[in-house]
Amino acid sequence: MSPDIDSDYITWKRSQAGALESLRDKQVWILFSGGKDSSLALQLLFAASKEFKFEFEVLCGTFPRHRYTMSVVSRIDTFWKDRGVKIHWHEVNESDDSLEHDDDPCVVCQQTRRRGLYQLTSNRSPDSEKLVLITAYTLWDLVSYCLECVTAVEFAEPGTEHRIAGQMRFAEVGQRFYPLLKMESGLTIYRPVLAYNTQEVVRIIRAASIPILSTPCRYAQLRPKRVLETYFESMGLRFDYLQVLRFAERCLNLPSLKEIESMSDERFLTRTF
């Protein structure tokens, strides 16, 4: 690590020490996309695994397919393999045709990826009490969810299609505001980079020369989150995790931890996660 990256790691591990200590003797799956956020998570967890003595697997579902060209996958795979990290690339049994002919391809994509994850966990039959799934949502994701909810729910006319869809959307993404979930089955969900602004993510990725997906998603501009991120970037905005969490709790009826952690694994992984 360079001095700057080392400093970022030290600051991060201090804030995450409790969660990192709990990973020892667990079956840790890092759900990797090849994008900047999951690459940051892998960079930090790779360093932490040596210090906190835990092992992990890196799993990537290659969907939508147009983003995962052979050259891009090879470049990312080689970079991590040279560092001793093996990425398990899983081809999702679905073509991009299902996206081309749908009015909301982003929803179809999310559903397809969820089914792939659930199928993977079912096929591998991991011990739920030991399984930890790690995802790489960041602070800009959370702020975008808040603004989606405000515009589509709080400001929308009662009973309208947009309001109902917005309520369902926030019920789905609300669980992503919590860095650590411990489901009743024993399954653990860990989000190690939730407090990062995108400027910080980009700075660390560039400093470490980490290759990421270079093919943009054809449907990115159909996602409110991507449109809002462009606005955040152009305005140079930075956010604070605790402020965002408190706003969501106070103003947006954020689901409680108890409500989320009581879900069955099947419901959580196929409908919410």
84: left (phi over 0), alpha (psi -120 to 50) or beta: left
Burial of 187-222, coded b for 16+ CB within 10 Å and e otherwise, reads: bbbbbbbbbbbbebbeebbeebebbbbeeebebeee
What pLDDT, on a 0 to 100 scale, did the predictor assign at position 4?
Answer: 55
Contacts of 190 (CB under 8 A, 6+ apart): 19, 23, 132, 133, 134, 135, 179, 180
Neighbours of 146 (CB within 10 A): 22
What pLDDT, on a 0 to 100 scale, did the predictor assign at position 183?
Answer: 93
CATH code for 3-272? 3.40.50.620
What pLDDT, on a 0 to 100 scale, did the predictor assign at position 210?
Answer: 97
Taking the chain (273 residues) in consecutive chunks of 10 residues, what is each chunk's mean pLDDT? 74 96 95 96 97 96 88 96 95 79 76 77 76 96 91 76 71 91 94 97 96 86 82 95 96 90 87 79
What pLDDT, on a 0 to 100 scale, did the predictor assign at position 166?
Answer: 67
Q: Where are the domains of the chain?
A: 3-272
What pLDDT, on a 0 to 100 scale, did the predictor assign at position 257?
Answer: 92
For every residue of the chain, which 3-state class applies, written as one string?
CCHHHHHHHHHHHHHHHHHHHCCCCCEEEEECCCCHHHHHHHHHHHHHHHHHCCCEEEEEECCCHHHCCHHHHHHHHHHHHHCCCCEEEECCCCCCHHHHCCCCHHHHHHHHHHHHHHHHHHHHCCCCCCEEEECCCCHHHHHHHHHHHHHHHHCCCCCCHHHHHHHHHHHHHHHHHCCEEECCCCCEEECCCCCCCHHHHHHHHHHCCCCCCCCCCCCHHHCHHHHHHHHHHHHCCCCCHHHHHHHHHHHCCCCCHHHHHCCCHHHHHHHHC
What pLDDT, on a 0 to 100 scale, did the predictor assign at position 268?
Answer: 86
What pLDDT, on a 0 to 100 scale, did the predictor assign at position 150?
Answer: 86
Residue 23, both tokens: 């990973």
How far is CA 141 from each of CA 5, 230, 271, rounded to the nearest angstrom?
A: 23, 12, 18
What pLDDT, on a 0 to 100 scale, did the predictor assign at position 227?
Answer: 87
What pLDDT, on a 0 to 100 scale, did the predictor assign at position 64?
Answer: 87
